[in-house]
Structure 1
């Protein structure tokens, strides 16, 4: 199952802290609460994708408002034009769920499906949400590369690998931007700094850095491992 078809996702309230935060989150920009998605945000993209990009969690007034990952916030404003230039997206703009954007050979989701306070999920929230991520990854039958956007998503994915017996310790695969790993089984794992507004403004991640990473991801997806 992928995206909105994941059983139980739309009505999931297992993480009480996140459910309470969503219930009280005030809207911005003159909008009403009715204009917000205010629920777990499903992934979206090409069901035949060879690449899956895993972010941290929905943004409070981005994905939590629009109902689509990285849509309507600074992280997406940086990322989608570059995905378009790299051939993974049909257009450079991502403003709302019905804007016509289509992903090509790419599926995008988050490690945690609900917006967390201060954009910081707790370890138990990663754990509770990991079965949804597992279902998405398992449904991508052509998957060859997982891109973990930020250390939180990267660590959560490593915990999945450990649960599956593919690694013994998380320290075996240290996080670094551009790091590429091939676990014992399954897809390649590529680490990236998050495309958050803060990281972009401080220069921790730049357009050339992210484009170079996307080009490497494309090579891995094609089987060009040299």
Structure 2
């Protein structure tokens, strides 16, 4: 996970366009968890949408751990980009993946490289352990969520067929409460609000109210 946090996945405007495209192309080539690692563990893996996401140079990641198919699949969805940083506000290098005081710190540790890495490593662990699955586990790593959501939109537009058997989708949302190192509860988010802009014009005598 530290290696994933050490990758600079910011989008414009913090990086120049040339820097952004160059670093993005390198991310596509490397992958956070290389597709070859997944394939070597018997997990189908693909890097998608490199052409559709030009000129950004980004790509979506897709992987599938096969089950018996007696039940519909579950999808684990994450995004691989991060928001910009203000290094002066950090006590560690935000792109170094520093372990300090027992914690791994870096941009994306929570939102949401950390969760994506955990999902992938869990799939590898399940495969290696031989745990029988009655449904497929699908992993989707979106190229962009923070800037314009182009990763998910491109994936759905170009590869809807890969999701036709998915019954449940799990991604970021909800919240967990940890008190003194003890988990108090898991929060489950079932919906998300989005802006709904309106312009109101009221006719009549003007007045002041608080």
TM-score range, shorter chain: 0.3 to 0.5
User: Between Structure 1 and Structure 2, whose CA radius of gyration is higher?
Assistant: 2
The answer to which structure, 1 or 2, has the higher relative contact order (CA under 8 A, 6+ apart) is 2
When the two structures are superposed, what TM-score results if normalisation uses the length of structure 2?
A: 0.34
When the two structures are superposed, what TM-score results if normalisation uses the length of structure 1?
A: 0.33
